[in-house]
Amino acid sequence: MSDENMSEGSIDDQALADEWAAALEESGDAGSQEDIDALLNEAEKPAPAVMEQLSEPSDAPRAFAGSEDGPNLDVILDIPVTISMEVGGTDITIRNLLQLNQGSVIELDRLAGEPLDVLVNGTLIAHGEVVVVNEKFGIRLTDVVSPSERIKKLK
């Protein structure tokens, strides 16, 4: 530690000690400088970490407690997620991006007829093909990525 850092630290400590002394005087419990120094030393010591072992599984909240069939998923079933379909992608320069106008064609990195990627919150979960349902676009899932494969991709 450099002398400059040490002097800054002692200035901060002295300012803190002065604040404590002023506060103690206001409250009528003014103590000696040793009392103030003792309080400062106690504040600098980290509190000991206490590790507690749960005695029984019943200590867990009921919403997350597992049953014989597995964890209770009811607590997450109503959480909204974003699902999107990706046709393909490409990298272009900003110069080319600024030159795009109506009728421009951007070449993607996928071949025609290749399945689309189905993403949930940006994570690939399936592949599918475009279909039309009641005059609206839809997607028919052709391949669903297994949970173990999804976890491997996260690593």
H helix or E strand, kind and range, residue 92: none
Report the interhelical angle of 3-27 vs 33-44 (nearest 10°). 120
- Alpha carbon of residue 122 to chain centroid: 14
What percent of the chain lies above the pLDDT cut of 70?
Answer: 61
Q: How many CB atoms lie within 10 A of CB 118?
A: 21
The CATH number of the structural domain formed by 81-101+111-152 is 2.30.330.10
CA–CA gap between residue 15 and residue 37 (Å, rounded): 12
CA–CA gap between residue 117 and residue 110 (Å, rounded): 11
pLDDT classification of 150: cutoffs 50, 70, 90: confident
Instruction: Quote the pTM value.
Output: 0.47
Tokens of 27: 């409250």
pLDDT classification of 18: cutoffs 50, 70, 90: confident
